[in-house]
Chain A
């Protein structure tokens, strides 16, 4: 099983919460071999893929991981990348449980401890089992952001239920079904800490529902919105293509529109650069 396919199993906040994480393992060196053995020992682990080439952007990755609460097992092959990640994750989420697994404990012990590692161990089966026991005991405290995410998740779940109804009959969408979305939507609107990818979706809906009073979303628009939510839950953290795809869907539905001043702004931004050089 590849890291990527395991990572795709992380779909909802509820799923993450059920597994009781915020926690993280940073493994240094000999990544594949350690992963194989950890997989044997921890069958339901969630693996977070960090592209090898992206380790230089540890802070950004750490922020993403913390933002979505999917810190479970993060593996780094390079010593420096692992230390960078450890430092960044601890600075963003001091409560995240971070462990270092390495063959050479004496060499990394002091640095790892200074950076805030909660557990440092070798790669023997006994040590890995002990590490996993420690992970099981890491308790989860619901932060404000996590509660907000759960509200958003509820919107998603209810939306998907409505989506199923729509699949059967487009005309079945009744007002009382939409009303069930109102409380979690209100909570979702109040979110501030989700980052712009989700904020963009929320904003789009806000503009559609709040800023244009009297405008009813058509069944088609609802279906699109639900699809967007569905997609957002199955693929986050979003990559560039997914974010583009979502933005495109929203634009096609008229929820993101080109601002009237945009042409002038584009000229302003580009005329001193490459874009506006003209004959």
Chain B
């Protein structure tokens, strides 16, 4: 066994997949090195679904915005205006803007060219990250019939098209039977979520867990409910001997521990 290697199976959550695929090069490399500490790794399809609907869609959106604005500063300004109600994001936008104001473009490169270079790099990451869902872990969980995993494609204008974002409309969740196979576990998770901080994410998770708890075969468990479950899905579906690997231990640890499982920080 290699030195420092953990004899543990790692069940990757969405934040880890993001760290490995969408961050700057140095962070991506560091994350991959940390992942190599584990004897085996599993990427659940649910992480891919969250990844597509969240970070990947954001990258595609910003790529397409850069295509329209043809300036990094203008694209950041426009997206910051749209994110004004999100203090963290706004703070980063101000920081990024201050950096851009100081930026000295390489000789002969206009702001438009600089924006294009950024856009092509984003484009590369969008393609590559989507491709890596098949290779980043030793194995991935089964594909879901409700989630078609269509590849990102480019249209004639150069815009990236990512459709559908989530599951097929009006499809019933392919995961629902597995999720409700242990009703007592759903109750335990619900108790943890209800006693947690009063935040939007917890409110929608509690609502989805309650719906799952009382779910009848005649009902439909759709995309919104599925996404509402969020971190609870990882706690419910991680193998008993695996640890849930995340950058967000604060949210994952109580859920995993409630079911006698472990969560670890990447």
A residues touching B (Cβ–Cβ < 8 Å)? 53-54, 56-57, 59-60, 63-64, 66-67, 92, 193, 195-197, 199-200, 203, 207, 211, 213, 239-241, 243-244, 247-248, 251, 256-279
Contacts and interface: CB of A to CB of B under 8 A. Distances in A.
B196 interface: no
A211 B106 contact: yes
B153 A60 contact: yes
Contact of A274 (B18, B96, B163, B265): B18
A149 to B, nearest CB: 13
Contacts of B93: 268
Given A272-B86, A274-B55, A244 B154 contact: no
A265 B150 contact: no
B172 interface: no
A277 B25 contact: no
Interface string B69-89: 000100010010001001011
Contact of A271 (B92, B131, B250, B265): B92
Given A243-B127, A275-B19, A278-B247, A268 B114 contact: no
Contact of B154 (A195, A241, A261): A195
Interface residue tally of chain B, by bracket?
Answer: 35 or more
A216 B24 CA distance: 28
Interface in B168-208: none
Nearest to B92: A268
Interface in B130-160: 130-131, 148, 150-156, 158
A256 B150 CA distance: 26
Contacts, number: 153
B127 A92 contact: no
Contacts of A277: 15, 247-248, 251
Contact of B96 (A56, A66, A259, A265): A265
Given A92-B156, A196-B158, A269-B62, A248 B163 contact: no
B9 interface: no
A267 B25 CA distance: 13
Given A240-B151, A258-B121, A268 B76 contact: yes
Secondary structure class of chain B's binding surface, majority of residues: helix
Contacts of B54: 273-275
24 contacts: A57-B150, A60-B153, A66-B156, A67-B156, A195-B156, A196-B154, A200-B124, A211-B106, A240-B152, A241-B131, A244-B131, A259-B117, A261-B100, A264-B92, A265-B62, A265-B76, A265-B118, A272-B86, A273-B58, A274-B55, A275-B14, A275-B22, A275-B23, A275-B55
A106 to B, nearest CB: 32
Given A268-B96, A275-B19, A256 B120 contact: yes
Contacts of A247: 123-124, 127-128
B32 interface: no
A263 B154 CA distance: 25
B124 A54 contact: no
A197 B22 CA distance: 20
A241 B130 CA distance: 9
Given A57-B163, A264-B99, 7 more contacts: A57-B161, A200-B120, A200-B124, A264-B92, A267-B92, A272-B83, A273-B54
